[in-house]
Amino acid sequence: MRRRVKRSSPRPGATMDPMKAPTRLATALVLLATLGACTASPPPPSTPTTTVATTARDEAPKAVPFSARFDATGRFVADDRILPAWRLDPTLPAAKGDQYDDIRTAAPQLYAITEPPDRIATVRPMVEWEPMRAIVMTYPGYMLTSTNATDTFVQVAVHASEVGEVWFAVDGASAENGLKSRILTAGVSQQTLDDKIKFYRTDIDSVWFIDSGPLPIVDTATDTFAFADWRYYHERPLDDGVPTVLARNMGAFGYEQTATVYRLPLYMEGGTFQATTDGICFTSDRQIYNLSCYDGSCNDNIESMSLTALQTHPYTLQMETLLSDYVGCKDLVVMHSITDDGTGHIDMYMKVLDDGRVLMGEYAAPYANNAEQTNGPRLDANAAFLEAYVKPDGTSFTVPRIVMPGRRNSSFGNIPFTFINSTLFNGVNLWPYSDYSAWDAQKAAAQATWDAVLPDYDNIPIEATELSFYSGAIHCVTRTIPAQPAADWVDDGTCGDGSCVAPPHGYDGECSPAGISEQVCWGPTWLCECNDCDNGCATTPNGCGDITYYGCCDDGTLYYCETNQVYSQPCGGSCGWDQSNDWYDCGMSGADPSGEHPLACGATCTPNCAGKTCGGDGCGGTCGDCGAGSTCVSGTCASTCVDPVCTVGDSGCDGAVAWACITQDDCPMRAEVDCATSGKICEAGQCAVAPVEPEPDTTSPDTATPDTSAGTDTTTPPDTTGTGLDVQGEGDVQQLAHKSSGCAGGGGRGSGALALLLGIGLLTWLRRRRPAGL
């Protein structure tokens, strides 16, 4: 499914057209993604880059050097394709009957709310320090251009594969092959890749799997696990469906059976939930605030309430009941969020280490900016509250502290970074850091803290700068799966006369609800056929008739369907297909070259495969597919291999860069990785641990010094803006982000986007505009 920017409202001059009356439902469901941006600036870190020369099919994107993500002032400029960890506009309740509900309605077996486990008395949520079988991540192919973020995923896989399995859910061959090549060149053997790193292809929206993925819940009576699944962001329905997809396909990862999934009627992300084995569960005041927004009216007073008052807030009590019924929580403890993080998730500032200890972030005075002056006391209050908290068994917590590094400037605003967003996995602690030289002392202090609080773990720092700019890091992109067997706590039923014959507590509705092609007589009883039993299972009414999201042109006027309404826009006679955006637009000419979307409004589509052996038939169908190593060019299969860039099997070193010539889709490909990213050197084409030097090596790349190639550190005093100081004032852009569409002052896009719009001129004025931010 292709991804594009959604128009939040019709551009000036476009009006709803009641004359294009509804005659039938639009013929395609389109998943839309938006990304707002703002203004703001510090120097980029000195992180080396990874580049991969590729001739892979599926149009694998070219890697972009990480330094290219920063403007001349050192401000990080976000990639519009990458969805951040926060919801783009959490102040809006989930709209019913929109395109996202259409996707959910078309696959109710992935989203329908179920009854809770009948065995809840012996159920507990998983904890991160228990033995694990696998660590799971989602990786969309568009991430291949993000070299630093991809390196983070690769390093997680490298270290995790030494102590367990690594699973990737990917959205196609490009993502899978790109990861494989990078993992191999990072030093993982082919045998380890084959045996311990597994890939599963499915539709996904983003990388934030701790948030959208399932929560394993353990039955202590049978020593098996199933999954709990809360509702994820309304605008990311593909991610929202992955937990059940994963559970029903456990065989792809070597399991003998599937796992039952219990879907809660609760909007929450996994990054704002942690627990102990005795059922003490934790969340944040931002989660309570978000529940008020989902309820239709954001209550800004929630995040200023005392911790004592938060524990008995009506939304807290409502959430506590659901978590008790579905997950096995015995108590729910609400913590203050830091105010300048887009998500407010607890995993950005605290971590449950074991049943008796909670690690809490710390901003120490003197504070660097207003955000730290606000959040320092909030984290101190969290620590004091937990130390005074008495668990139901009479015990209490000790609360060690870990330094918080500060903030960095981006097109989203000033973003807080963290060392605490780590993942525990079978004796390994993978914790994030950012290679800014001004934070070297904080990094060393964080390493010392991790070694002190987890002395039996291998505490491994992983560079995660790029992910951090989207308000996430290591924990945010990983979910660990317990070592116990997966189990169907509810047996599968059978289909008889169109209805499911169910076992106790099993689904007993239609065998193939909503007209789906498969029979779904499995899983727990559904409480309703969608993910919102209270507000009804709405679908998009027949509002646009023959007019689709892609639009059409009629006598020089553009018509398109948006928010279930037809809009028209005079084009001055110039209306046609916009190849870059995959829609009809003003200022363009000609029809969709694939023929799938006719130029004229109301036109019908006739399949045409004359002279073609592959590619589209012009109406959404296909004239044939090409095999590996070839692609469809003008209706004929042609080789995707360009002139050989290397000889398969060769490898070597270009300085600190390791390279190997591999085969990808039957074509030779030179894959490269900069070993310095993981603090290693290149030897014989592989990354290796550097020998201990008796004195500091003043000639080799030093990740603790400014990256002169980035073009900023040589002209800017080290980190004059990088310690968290707001270049443009003390406004907490990210605090506003979670309450006002991601940007302060109405959500204007960053200066780079503004300059681009001004440069395009009058032609752009005639075209559809992207929203300021959603």
Read off the pLDDT of residues 205-233 as tens digits, 9 standing for 90 and up.
999 999 999 999 999 999 999 999 999 99
The alpha carbon of 244 is separated from its chain's Cα centroid by a whole number of angstroms, namely: 17
Asked whether the beta carbons of 248 and 255 are under 8 A apart, the reply is no
**740-772 residue pLDDT tens:** 333 223 333 233 332 333 233 323 333 332 222
Q: Of all residues in the chain, what percent carry a pLDDT higher than 90?
A: 57
Q: Please provide the DSSP assignment of 284-336 as one string.
A: EHHHHHHHHHHTTS--TTGGGS-HHHHTT-HHHHHHHHHHHHHT--SEEEEEP
State the average pLDDT over residues 18-41: 31
pLDDT of the residue at 36: 31
Of the candidates 390, 321, 383, the residue with the CA atom closest to the CA atom of residue 351: 383
Taking the C-alpha atoms of residue 319 and residue 630, their distance in angstroms, rounded to an integer, is 52
- 489 or 564: which leads in pLDDT: 489
Residue 671: which of 40, 108, 147 has the closest Cα?
Answer: 147
Exposed, middle or buried by CB within 10 Å (0-12, 13-18, 19+), for 538? middle
C-alpha–C-alpha distance, residues 107 and 31, integer Å: 14
Name the pLDDT band for 540 (thresholds 50, 70, 90).
low
Compute the distance between CA of residue 409 and CA of residue 73 in angstroms, rounded to an integer.
10
Beta pairing partners, 396:
390
Tokens of 437: 């030289």
Rounded Cα–Cα distance for residues 496 and 100 (Å): 31
Q: Angle of helix 173-185 relative to helix 147-160, nearest 10 degrees?
A: 70
Mean pLDDT of 521-527: 97
Instruction: Give the pLDDT of residue 632.
Output: 60
Copy the structure tokens of residue 383. Answer: 């620590």
Cβ atoms within 10 Å of 192's Cβ, excluding its own: 17
Q: Which amino acid is at 460?
A: I
Considering 12-21, 131-140, 695-704, 715-724, the range whose residues carry the highest mean pLDDT is 131-140
| Structure confidence at residue 241 as a pLDDT band (50, 70, 90) | very high
Buried b (16+ CB within 10 A) or exposed e, 327-356: bbbbbbbbbbbbbbbbbbbbbbbbbbbebe
Q: What is the pLDDT of residue 58?
A: 37
pLDDT at 594 over 90: no
Q: Using alpha carbons, select from 576, 556, 737 the residue that is nearest to residue 91.
A: 737
* Helix axes of 314-326 and 285-294: crossing angle, nearest 10 degrees: 100
Q: What is the pLDDT of residues 301-336, one digit of tens each?
A: 999 999 999 999 999 999 999 999 999 999 999 999
Q: For residue 340, which amino acid is it?
A: D
- Can you name the residues that pair with 258 across neighbouring β-strands? none
Q: Tens digits of per-residue pLDDT, 69-105?
A: 899 999 999 998 899 998 876 655 555 567 788 889 8
The token pair that represents 392 in the structure block = 């139901």
Question: Taken in order 314, 316, 319, 321, is the CA torsion positive or negative?
Answer: negative
- 466: tokens are 């790029």
Report whether 434 contacts 468 (CB < 8 A): yes
Answer whether 470's CB lies under 8 Å from 427's CB: no
Q: Which pLDDT tens digit goes with each residue over 144-165?
A: 999 999 999 999 999 999 999 9
239 phi, psi to nearest 5 deg: -60, -40
Domain ranges of the chain: 99-482, 491-527, 539-607
- Nearby residues of 384 by Cβ (< 8 Å), 6 or more positions away: none
Query: Residue 696: what pLDDT?
Result: 41
The pLDDT, as a whole number, for residue 621 is 59
pLDDT value of residue 645: 64
What is the pLDDT at residue 641? 60
Q: Which residue has the higher pLDDT, 638 or 178?
A: 178
Task: Give the residue with greater pLDDT, 612 vs 702.
Answer: 612
pLDDT at 6 over 70: no
Strands 197-201 and 165-170: parallel
Q: Tell me, what's the pLDDT at 415? A: 96
- pLDDT reading at 111 higher than 50: yes
Tokens, residue 18: 């009641």
**Residue 630 pLDDT:** 60
Confidence check: pLDDT of 564 > 60 = no
Sheet of strand 428-433: strand arrangement: 423-425, 428-433, 458-463
Q: Residues with Cβ < 8 Å from 573, sequence gap 6 or more?
A: 556
Residue keyed to tokens 């668990």: 391
Could you count the other beta carbons within 10 Å of the beta carbon of residue 88? Answer: 25
Whole-prediction pTM: 0.68
Please list, in sequence order, all residues whose beta carbon lies within 8 angstroms of the beta carbon of residue 269, skipping any fewer than 6 positions away: 208, 210, 211, 212, 230, 232, 233, 343, 345
What pLDDT shows up at residue 562?
A: 66
The string of DSSP letters for 99-115 reads: HHHHHHHT-GGGT--BP
How would you classify residue 549: left for phi > 0, otherwise alpha for psi between -120 and 50, otherwise beta? Answer: alpha
pLDDT band at 535; cut points 50, 70, 90: confident
The least confident of 110-119, 130-139, 144-153, 289-298 is 289-298
Instruction: Give the burial string for 709-719 (b: 16+ CB within 10 Å, else e).
Output: ebbbbeebeeb
- 620: Cα within 13 Å, side-chain hemisphere: 8
What is the residue whose two structure tokens read 């090596």? 697
353, 476 contact by CB (below 8 A): no
Residue 291, amino acid: L
pLDDT score recorded for residue 254? 94
Lowest mean pLDDT: which of 297-306, 477-486, 634-643, 692-701? 692-701
For residue 696, cis peptide bond before it (omega within 30 degrees of 0): no
Confidence of residue 63 (pLDDT cuts 50, 70, 90): low
Q: Which DSSP state fits 678? A: G
Give me 450's structure tokens. Answer: 């991790």
Mean pLDDT of 349-375: 96
- Give a three-class secondary structure readout of 543-597: CCCCCCCCCEEECCEEEEEECCEEEEEECCCCEEEECCCCEEEECCCCCCCCCCC
* Average pLDDT estimate for 639-652: 70
DSSP 466-534: HHHTTT--TGGG-EEEESSPB--SS---EEETTEEE--TTB--SBSSGGG-SS----SBPBSSSSS-TT
Tokens of 641: 């291999």
Query: What is the mean pLDDT of the segment spanning 363-392?
Result: 96
Mean pLDDT score of the chain: 80
Q: Which of 77, 371, 418, 392 is nearest to 271 (CA)?
A: 418
State how far Cα 144 lies from the chain centre.
14
Give me the mean pLDDT over the 456-468 stretch. 98
Closest CA to 478 of 410, 399, 423: 423
Nearest-angstrom CA–CA distance, 365 and 363: 7
Confidence of residue 633 (pLDDT cuts 50, 70, 90): low
CA dist., res. 688 & res. 674, Å (int): 11
d(C-alpha 632, C-alpha 615), whole Å: 6
**CB-based burial label for 648 (10 Å; 0-12, 13-18, 19+):** middle
List b or e across 225-257, with b for residues whose CB sees 16 or more CB atoms inside 10 angstroms: bbbbbbbbbbbbbbbbbbbbbbbbebeebebee
Question: Which pLDDT score is estimated for 62?
Answer: 53
Q: Is the dihedral angle over the CA atoms 406, 409, 413, 415 positive or is it negative?
A: negative
Q: Cα-Cα-Cα-Cα dihedral of 293, 88, 15, 543, to 10°?
A: -70
Cβ neighbour number for residue 554 with a 10 Å cutoff: 16
Q: Can you tell me the distance from the alpha carbon of 197 to that of 524, in angstroms, rounded to the nearest whole number?
A: 31
What are the pLDDT digits (tens) for 730-742? 333 333 333 433 3
The pLDDT score that the predictor gives to residue 422 is 99
- The CATH number assigned to the domain with range 99-482 reads 3.75.10.10
Residue 649 has pLDDT above 70, yes or no: yes
- In the prediction, which pLDDT does 634 show? 60
Token pair for 462: 């992983």
